[in-house]
Amino acid sequence: MRMNLLFAIDDNVSTQLMTCLYSIVKNTPNEKFDAYVIQKDKLKSTAEIESFCGKIGVNYHAIIVDPKIFADAPTTDRYPETIYYRLLAHEYLPKSVNRILYLDVDILVINSLKQLYNKQLGDNLYAASSHSGLTNNMTEQFNKLRLGNYEAESYYNSGVLLMNLDAIRETVKATDIFDYIKENSLTLFLPDQDVLNALYGNKIVKVPDELYNYDARMSSIYNLLGDGKWDLDWVIDNTVILHFCGRDKPWKREYNSRYAGLYKHYAHRASMLINEKIMEN
């Protein structure tokens, strides 16, 4: 079985896409991958991405969105068309694809994705992680009150989403999403993530963030939550997805957090392969 991966990017982060893909392939051995990349217009770096994917054995699929899908969507500077891409991915992915893992590109995969990808979802739409343990119960209650979804177990981060596309195609409708944003625009802080939680939060299987959506900014808090066990060695051995959330990004020269060196190592290796300075085993 092939693993289907989903990304939504523009030309500003094509290099980060390749770093992320490199980390996936190196740390999920003996698997084959199809990468579907949603884009508004054909990426200028398409030839480079296709060449890179060929070198690491990934099938690259460019998904150019049909603007007709968004004809009735509320769009402003705060709500650009791109916020709908992952929520409506099922509208433009091939019908033959029934499961896919969406990932933000500010991610490193440092252990195998296999267990997450094969997670049983039943009739649920998604699997995702919550960072609620890193905040507090008041924040959780506030989000439930703000979004009006009291049945949801938690407030989920949308940067890592395992999608049950067969169930999503039956349940998730563009008109519901557009109407919700029109009616609640003043209370939405993170539009697509808020919509995900408000409309579908009770159809999400929760997976542990320390494994599948580790917020790289919060290493000291994770260590406290794990009673000192979730230290650097534990993360390297156990965490699958390391997510560089927030404005500070690891590809910037000034970034120097605990996991800066790890990211820069993968970025360097991917760059060498892009430039054909090394041959991969």
pLDDT tens for 125-172 read: 999 999 876 654 545 554 555 555 545 557 899 999 999 999 999 999
Is 30 within the bounds of a domain? yes
117: CATH: 3.90.550.10
Domain housing 103: 3-274
- Identify whether 140 is part of a domain: yes
* Phi/psi at 110 (5° precision): -115, 0
In this structure, the number of other CB atoms found within 10 A of the CB of residue 212 comes to 23
pLDDT, tens digit (0-9, with 9 covering 90-100), for 217-252: 999 899 888 888 999 999 999 999 999 998 999 999
Asked whether residue 279 is domain-assigned, the answer is no
How many domains, in total, are found in the chain?
A: 1
Q: What is the pLDDT, as a whole number, of residue 138? A: 46
Q: What is the mean pLDDT of residues 208-215?
A: 96
Using a cut of 0.85, tell me whether the model's pTM lies above it: yes
Kindly state whether residue 281 falls inside one of the protein's structural domains.
Answer: no
Average pLDDT over residues 36-49: 95
Query: For residue 280, is it within any domain?
Result: no
Average pLDDT over residues 241-267: 94
User: Looking at residue 190, what is its pLDDT?
Assistant: 72
Residue 94 counted as domain residue: yes
